[in-house]
Amino acid sequence: MTAATSPLPTAQFVAFVGEYLRFAGDNADELLALTVEHFVIIVQAIAIAVPLGVLLGVLITFDDRAATVVLWLSGVMMTIPSIALFGLLIPYFGIGQPPVIVALVLYSQLPVVRNTYVGLTQVDEAAVEAGRGLGMSRLERLRRVQIPMALPVIMAGVRNAVVILIGIAAIGAFIGAGGLGVLIFDGIDHANVPQIVVTTVLLSALTLAFDYGFALLETFFRLRNGEEIEIPRGYALLTGGSQ
């Protein structure tokens, strides 16, 4: 009895997986194009957000009161629902990618600014004093001592920001920004489960790829600062085999 019925679950599983693979194969070109579009949106947002966030993080190290205000405002931004923020930005930036990119820049400020501020303020005081003893000005100590030593912490903030932004960018398809969110919303509208699942898996893979890439960069900066950490797989690809 068991032997006679055991192939049925296997056949169902093959049919189940085949349905998703068939959708992926039939729509490979569209999936690739939307993945590239999603990638470009994220890169554009990060290219603006990281310099802005690092600059703000550096500036607030000079004034604790400013740090409190900026970090509080950055935290407030994270509490605003993405759809609501898109709606507030549409009158100024129109429909499509511009309001989404602006929203992504705003959402990314908390992890980037906070980690920059924390990384700079927690640099070993002995290293800062050594720079002062060498006659460095405050800006020189910041540029040559504090920022290089804080880079791993800053990179961890960027890494967190990117993971957040990839998901929010998918919601941006709701206002015509494009990206993988297009297929997710279309799949929901037409109750197309394979379309939703395949696109979500692809979106997750994109998130993991970004996260792993920034993790390798974070590892590089930590090793450069002399920290003893576990070397992740793939690090040799970043350094050409050196450790």
The whole-model pTM stands at 0.86
Average pLDDT on 53-82 reads: 93
Q: Which tokens hold the place of 158?
A: 């960027």
Average pLDDT on 112-116 reads: 95
Average pLDDT, rounded, for the chain: 87
Identify the weakest region by mean pLDDT among 53-62, 120-129, 158-167. Answer: 120-129
The answer to whether domain 28-224 has CATH 1.10.3720.10 is yes
Give the domain ranges of the chain: 28-224
Going by pLDDT thresholds of 50, 70 and 90, the confidence category of residue 1 is: very low
DSSP SS3 for 232: coil
**Number of helices and strands in the chain (H, E):** 12, 0
pLDDT of residue 172: 94
- Number of neighbours of residue 44 by Cβ within 10 angstroms: 16
Q: Is the pLDDT of residue 26 over 50?
A: yes
Q: Which tokens hold the place of 207?
A: 């998130």
Query: 231, 243 in Cβ contact below 8 A?
Result: yes
For 83-113, the pLDDT digits (tens) are 999 999 999 999 999 999 999 999 999 999 9
The Cα–Cα gap between 186 and 184 comes to 5
DSSP SS3 for 238: helix
Query: 120, 150 in Cβ contact below 8 A?
Result: yes
Going by pLDDT thresholds of 50, 70 and 90, the confidence category of residue 45 is: very high
pLDDT of residue 224: 79
pLDDT of residue 234: 61
